[in-house]
Structure 1
Amino acid sequence: MTAEEYKKNVERLKKWADAYYIDDNPLVTDEVYDKLYHEVQSFEKEHPDLIDPTSPTQRVGAPIKDGFRKAKHLSRMWSMEDVFNDVEFEQWYERINKQYPNERYYVEPKFDGASLNLIYNNGALQQAITRGDGVEGEDVTNNARTINSIPLEIDHQGLIEIRGEVLMTIDEFERINKERLERGEQPFANPRNAAAGSLRQLDPKITAERNLIFQPWGVGVNDLDFEYLSDQMNYIYDLGFRKPPIRRVHTSVKEIEETYRELGKMRDTLPVMLDGMVVKVDRIALQEILGYTVKYPRWMVAYKFPAVEKQTRIKDVILQVGRTGVITPVAVLEPVNIEGAVIERATLNNFDYIEKLDVRIGDMVTLIRSGDVIPKIIKVLKEFRTGKEKPIERPTHCPVCGSEVLDEGALIKCQNLSCPARVVNAIIYYASKSCMNIDGLGEKIVEQLYEAGLVKEIEDLYHLKLEDLLKLEGFKEKKAKKLLEAIEASKGRECWRFVNGLGIEHIGEVASKKICEKFGLNFLDATKEELLEIDGFGEEMAESFLEFMRVNREKVERLMEIVKPTEPKEERTVDSAFTGKTVVLTGTMKEPRAKIKELLEHLGAHVTNSVSKKTDFVIYGEDPGSKYDKAKTLGVPLLNEEEFWKELAKEGITP
């Protein structure tokens, strides 16, 4: 590698790192990133005078993402050195063993998620901070409080930082991606990115819906007095945190490598993703002696699993049309099992990618799952070709409506706004939780309404009548009324939900909120100059928004007249008796329970479903049941609904 190549490779790594850490959208597999990372690192070791201080090898993690308050860790969160085979691991082991023989080593799984630092003060969860750059990260305390495996209180006095990984189960990942695809949204690349994206939602309610898991792996600042890390971690687990499936202490390289292989076999059976095993010097005093490099602790290493590759054949290629008209080629595969998941489809990304690989229908291909990302076709095994393979043609017409497409090179788009696929996906997206949140209006019902000719655009939802729905298969009076009530309830939703629901290309939830914060309900009159003043807005976003409004202004105005979205509300700053408290709701309430739950969460309360000694209040209505009885037994304070509203009235809050 020359000095010039080194500079280019550093820029390439920085681009990949930004996509991975900030956008939660990896551009390359872990294997490709790690390979270039090590090549750059090797060059820097040989030429220390040429090191670029901004190189990803010289920093710990991710820059701060706009939108969250910065917060400093009490002690630095370090990254780990990676090793990828037995030879590299044994070299790391011998560096320590040569000087300190017969030491104990603590081993545990390396979970693949988003790192989080929890700060407890005298038993109470005080703050939750993402890794960030290792010195400071993002304050995601409100979101962390929604994760059930994070105790809000622990039986420990004094100050302590508990570090761990926020994870998403494979089942939850598949559920969320299914919902995203139904709404015409881009699926998450892998459970790690889904967990990171869920943890960093501006709305804690979205985080709460994602069923995240917190798995501890270490401590920062603490006043614990243990000789060994293994004992320290047992103490942490006994405070009420999840235990890993394996945690062992070994005294030889042979034992460590045996556990590594055992864990590698187990990974297919676990509900969450692993990408290796962590090995740490167990004696805390020796950890302090060994110390740190610029980036890593010298006393621990990540012993990574190899990439998983499988071969299969492409049976067919189908074309999917999203709500923005983008046509995505999807490979239909002969089923292949990769780490417990039967894979029958894989995205081909776009038509430039197809041409670059020279992939054809009938080809044998290699799928890779590196770092447990969604399987991707990375190679065509041309030696297996028989001559019967068929080239994948670039479409000239939409596969759904037949209209001519716009070919932009990598992207091919259907421009027909009335295309059934675009219309159906646009309505699904409009009704989704992150937009107008119309309960019960999912993919199947939208397709049913469209095929029956009842809904041809979003506005038609608000003209549906009971007698129309009762003619449809599967609709009884109760179901039909419930759907109409849900559609009616979407009127008056916040401005940002309305804008987000329009499905404007490049304008997502965060951008919609910023637009409504700046313009309120006058967003139709926004100019390019005004849009570019918004933090994070570029030319592409501004032009996309303006072009959509130019083409669809009349439709948007008509829809606004029906829906009457509301201006952004000022954030409530009232502190109440429920701020920071754990609350359980039970029984039948006069006010909708969802409304009470939302209000409590807005006031900083953590609303849970079960009563325990850690519950601060139980608010009950009529026929409260077993939760009420358990609260009385445990001595948890009880408030009926009337008493609850009286308490809030002291702060000027009314139903």
Structure 2
Amino acid sequence: MTEPSARVKELRDLIAYHNRRYYELDEPSITDAEWDALMRELVALETAHPELVTADSPTQRVGGPPAEGFTKVEHEVSMLSLGNAYSADDMREFDARIREAVGAVRYVCELKIDGLAVSLRYEGGRLVRGATRGDGQVGEDITMNIRTIRNVPLQLSETVDIEVRGEAYMPKPAFRRLNEAREANGESLFANPRNAAAGSLRQLDPRVAANRGLAVFVYTVVEAERFADTHSGAIAMAQRLGFAVNGESRTFDAIDDVIEFIDSWGRKRHDLPYATDGMVIKVDSLALQERLGFTAKSPRWAIAYKYQAEQAETVLRDIELSVGRTGAVTPTAVFNPVQLAGTTVSRASLHNEDYIRDKDIRLGDTIVVQKAGDIIPEVVRSLPEMRTGVEVPYVFPYECPQCGAPLVRLPEEAAWRCVNPACPALIRESLIHFASRDAMNIEGLGEQWVAQLLEHQLIHDAADLYDLTQEELVTLDRMGERSATNLVAAIAASKQNSLEKLLFGLGIRLVGEKAARTLAKEFGTLDALMRASSEELQTVPEIGPKLADSIVAYFATPGAQQLLARLVAAGVNTAFIAPRVRGRASTAALAAGDALREAGTDTEAVPAGEGTAGLAESLGDGASWFTDKTCVLTGTLTVMDRKQAGEWIEALGGKVTGSVSAKTDVVIAGEKAGSKLTKAESIRDSGQNANLVVMNEEQFIALLRAEGVEL
């Protein structure tokens, strides 16, 4: 029999290991319920043997240590975790303890959002710091990432000093999009929205967080008694200040009503646009909260009811393989249909070869499936005890399921890839990407037409698109003469795109839109880029070793060289195209000054301290007023979208960022501009940056035209 001291050590080591995977690596390998079971066993052993309790036991602290790479932040008021309940009996025991201590009580019930706990501090109504929980005492300063979250106010409606706590989360649609993109690139998938949110907020580059659609629900006001008598009153006040709060909270006097509310959301929580894994129940009265107090790690006046993940057993019938546009081969489990989280499920990703091997998943196995974060179907485990002897170990093929070419697996990757440029699956997905809006923007060339063109053998790669004729296109199913004419015209128009569109359209591994634009501007021509070494590429801002090596490897392949030669022969532009300008003469600038005045501008809409003549001088021949200026776009633009406006600014030498600071030079405010406009005006008017230019869309358009831009 294992000695208690030995088991305590084993449990602590296990919990430390899983904490690191959960909090630091964002790669959990066990469920929350399994982790809770380990913790409950440790608590029971330490209760029975108090001499074994040590200061470094996981029962004596909260959460995980701060991640390396961020400044550490000490919380003035500890961010504690909550005790857990798993049944109605657990809730009644909690209620009995509360009523025995303080008598009659009212509870407030709030959905427990599956995300990352964060602290937001405001001084004078302005956001000054965002931090993670960390270990409850010391967290990580993630202010720059928090500022990228759109529903986090940078400026409150009142000039108040306040700290709130909340849950940063990733909505289900954003989670799906992120995992789909990662799967297409052969990257590991996030297990659930919580890990996706945590991984996004722990990126050292705030642009990563900005592009992932995060949001925050505020659930606590620190020192709430300064603002209200009840928790629900404090949350209502927080909402008035501009914070996003979850609207599904309710208050109840009876524990049976609380339990009924918990059960009702257990049935319908899957319909929410965000993931929730439980319900938080708190004593509403702040005075009673103070009387009840805290244990070493959690408040006595609150508890978290945890919903069990809905799982189902089924039989694995097959494993299918699909090939993405980057060549990543993804195995998918095909099993007898089951009901999960309100939908019928019959397929789930198995991610990669290692996943299948590590979980010992065999064809014919009885398997347990669930929806990760109530969204993505996943195979949790196989059930070896139910095997009958007919189950067959799955052997991952080392040949492409589409073309038969040998698959390649790089040492640092989990995915096997097809690198045959003639692979039909690779060609199909690559062509769909090549024609997409953010790439070559061939309007009308969608997935169905690509499939038909390949099926009829009218095309084999992207270069073949430029040889298509109207006569060939009308042979396709449901392709009329007018549609064929429009498609031929759209293909021809794509030849005039700037180089960055082509670079992104080629689907070079790790080259996204921003990297493509950076490379196009830096090297100017495709030929110059193709000649660049990895070392030369790494001298370009934001181009690291992996990206540089990927670019060099792509251009070194004979297939890529042949494709590019044919695209050039077809007349596709391979140079960076700067904004089309007519020549920025002083007379054009003077006219722009008149246009700016007619649009209703004031002196803040042109360089500080200059009138129309000053604007003319600042433009000059061959110069750009936007050169080296940091610009922020906010609100809704009507003449062009913000992405297009940003591309013009960058093409004219400016830089576009997502947040306003004292270093911002220009803010372009469209309709319904909110906190960014307010902050910009405050920075300018307070003297922090008296030269900060604030203009509306009409003024922005007038200035672009003064630059000679042909809109």
TM-score of the superposed pair, with normalisation by structure 2:
0.67
1:236 is aligned with what amino acid?
Answer: A
Equivalent residue number for residue 318 of structure 1: 320
Work out which of the residue numbers 479, 496, 499 in structure 2 matches 1:491.
Answer: 499
Q: Give the whole-Å Cα distance in 2 for the aligned partners of 1:141 and 1:550.
A: 34
Q: Give the whole-Å Cα distance in 2 for the aligned partners of 1:81 and 1:11.
A: 21
Q: By how many angstroms is 1:108 displaced?
A: 1.1
Q: Select between 229-238 and 82-91 the one with higher mean Cα deviation.
A: 82-91
Work out which of the residue numbers 139, 142, 151 in structure 2 matches 1:139.
Answer: 142
Work out which of the residue numbers 128, 131, 147 in structure 2 matches 1:129.
Answer: 131
Q: By how many angstroms is 1:330 displaced?
A: 1.4
1:585 is aligned with what amino acid?
Answer: L
Kept after mapping to 1: 8 A contact 2:314/2:366: yes
Task: Report the CA distance shift for 1:77/1:485 in structure 2 as closer, same or farther (over 3 A).
Answer: farther
Q: Give the whole-Å Cα distance in 2 for the aligned partners of 1:490 and 1:52.
A: 62
Kept after mapping to 2: 8 A contact 1:144/1:199: no
Kept after mapping to 1: 8 A contact 2:402/2:424: yes
1:35 is aligned with what amino acid?
Answer: A
Task: Report the CA distance shift for 1:640/1:351 in structure 2 as closer, same or farther (over 3 A).
Answer: closer
Does residue 465 of the first structure (1) align with residue 466 of the second (2)? Answer: yes
Task: Report the CA distance shift for 1:177/1:226 in structure 2 as closer, same or farther (over 3 A).
Answer: same
Deviations 1:363-396 (A, max 9, x none): 4432234764733333546787787766644435
Unaligned segments of structure 1, at least 5 residues: 618-636, 650-654
Work out which of the residue numbers 108, 111, 115 in structure 2 matches 1:109.
Answer: 111
Task: Report the CA distance shift for 1:33/1:420 in structure 2 as closer, same or farther (over 3 A).
Answer: farther
Task: Report the CA distance shift for 1:37/1:512 in structure 2 as closer, same or farther (over 3 A).
Answer: farther
The correspondence of residues 63-142 of structure 1 with structure 2, limited to 5 A, is 63-64=66-67, 66=69, 75-134=77-136, 135-141=138-144
The correspondence of residues 173-322 of structure 1 with structure 2, limited to 5 A, is 173-182=175-184, 184-199=186-201, 207=209, 210-220=212-222, 224-322=226-324
Does residue 502 of the first structure (1) align with residue 508 of the second (2)? Answer: yes
Kept after mapping to 1: 8 A contact 2:294/2:300: yes
2:377 is aligned with what amino acid?
Answer: P
The correspondence of residues 544-563 of structure 1 with structure 2, limited to 5 A, is 553=556
Kept after mapping to 1: 8 A contact 2:252/2:258: yes
Kept after mapping to 2: 8 A contact 1:102/1:252: no
Does residue 585 of the first structure (1) align with residue 646 of the second (2)? Answer: no
Q: Give the whole-Å Cα distance in 1 for the aligned partners of 2:374 and 2:641.
A: 45
Deviations 1:524-559 (A, max 9, x none): 7558xx99xx99x9xxx97x9869957964668997
Q: Give the whole-Å Cα distance in 2 for the aligned partners of 1:573 and 1:77.
A: 42
Equivalent residue number for residue 332 of structure 2: 330
Q: Give the whole-Å Cα distance in 2 for the aligned partners of 1:100 and 1:28.
A: 38
Q: By how many angstroms is 1:139 displaced?
A: 2.4
Q: By how many angstroms is 1:217 displaced?
A: 0.9
Does residue 417 of the first structure (1) align with residue 472 of the second (2)? Answer: no
Equivalent residue number for residue 611 of structure 1: 672
Q: Select between 309-318 and 48-57 the one with higher mean Cα deviation.
A: 48-57
Kept after mapping to 2: 8 A contact 1:184/1:428: no
Equivalent residue number for residue 687 of structure 2: none
Task: Report the CA distance shift for 1:648/1:191 in structure 2 as closer, same or farther (over 3 A).
Answer: farther
Work out which of the residue numbers 384, 402, 405 in structure 2 matches 1:403.
Answer: 405
Deviations 1:159-200 (A, max 9, x none): 112322233333443344445445555443323333444555
The correspondence of residues 346-425 of structure 1 with structure 2, limited to 5 A, is 346-351=348-353, 354=356, 359-369=361-371, 372=374, 374-380=376-382, 392-395=394-397, 397-405=399-407, 413=416, 416-418=419-421, 419-422=423-426
Q: Give the whole-Å Cα distance in 1 for the aligned partners of 2:81 and 2:440.
A: 39
Q: Select between 322-331 and 78-87 the one with higher mean Cα deviation.
A: 322-331
Q: Select between 593-602 and 209-218 the one with higher mean Cα deviation.
A: 593-602
Q: By how many angstroms is 1:591 displaced?
A: 11
Does residue 595 of the first structure (1) align with residue 647 of the second (2)? Answer: yes
Q: By how many angstroms is 1:273 displaced?
A: 1.6
Q: Select between 405-414 and 301-310 the one with higher mean Cα deviation.
A: 405-414
Q: By how many angstroms is 1:317 displaced?
A: 2.0
Q: By how many angstroms is 1:400 displaced?
A: 1.5
Q: Give the whole-Å Cα distance in 1 for the aligned partners of 2:18 and 2:470.
A: 49
Q: By how many angstroms is 1:238 displaced?
A: 3.3
1:137 is aligned with what amino acid?
Answer: E
1:413 is aligned with what amino acid?
Answer: W
Q: Give the whole-Å Cα distance in 1 for the aligned partners of 2:447 and 2:188.
A: 16
Unaligned segments of structure 2, at least 5 residues: 521-527, 578-625, 661-666, 679-693
Kept after mapping to 1: 8 A contact 2:508/2:551: no
Task: Report the CA distance shift for 1:270/1:610 in structure 2 as closer, same or farther (over 3 A).
Answer: farther
Does residue 32 of the first structure (1) align with residue 40 of the second (2)? Answer: no
Q: By how many angstroms is 1:338 displaced?
A: 1.2
Task: Report the CA distance shift for 1:78/1:310 in structure 2 as closer, same or farther (over 3 A).
Answer: same
Specify the SS of the correspondent of 1:303.
strand
Task: Report the CA distance shift for 1:325/1:612 in structure 2 as closer, same or farther (over 3 A).
Answer: closer
Q: By how many angstroms is 1:308 displaced?
A: 1.3
Q: Give the whole-Å Cα distance in 2 for the aligned partners of 1:295 and 1:401.
A: 57
Q: Select between 227-236 and 31-40 the one with higher mean Cα deviation.
A: 31-40
Q: Give the whole-Å Cα distance in 2 for the aligned partners of 1:465 and 1:508.
A: 24
Q: By how many angstroms is 1:227 displaced?
A: 1.7
Kept after mapping to 2: 8 A contact 1:424/1:447: yes
Q: By how many angstroms is 1:34 displaced?
A: 2.7
Specify the SS of the correspondent of 1:297.
coil
Task: Report the CA distance shift for 1:186/1:60 in structure 2 as closer, same or farther (over 3 A).
Answer: closer
Give aligned-pair identity as a percent. Answer: 29
Q: Select between 231-240 and 81-90 the one with higher mean Cα deviation.
A: 81-90
Q: By how many angstroms is 1:158 displaced?
A: 1.6
2:274 is aligned with what amino acid?
Answer: V
TM-score of the superposed pair, with normalisation by structure 1:
0.72
Q: Give the whole-Å Cα distance in 2 for the aligned partners of 1:592 and 1:511.
A: 16
Work out which of the residue numbers 38, 53, 56 in structure 1 matches 2:56.
Answer: 53
Q: Give the whole-Å Cα distance in 1 for the aligned partners of 2:53 and 2:531.
A: 50
Q: By how many angstroms is 1:89 displaced?
A: 3.8
Q: By how many angstroms is 1:613 displaced?
A: 7.7
Specify the SS of the correspondent of 2:299.
coil
2:657 is aligned with what amino acid?
Answer: H
Indicate the structure (1 or 2) with the bigger Cα radius of gyration: 2
Task: Report the CA distance shift for 1:73/1:50 in structure 2 as closer, same or farther (over 3 A).
Answer: closer
Task: Report the CA distance shift for 1:613/1:348 in structure 2 as closer, same or farther (over 3 A).
Answer: closer
Deviations 1:98-129 (A, max 9, x none): 32222332221111123333333333444443
Task: Report the CA distance shift for 1:521/1:218 in structure 2 as closer, same or farther (over 3 A).
Answer: farther
1:36 is aligned with what amino acid?
Answer: L
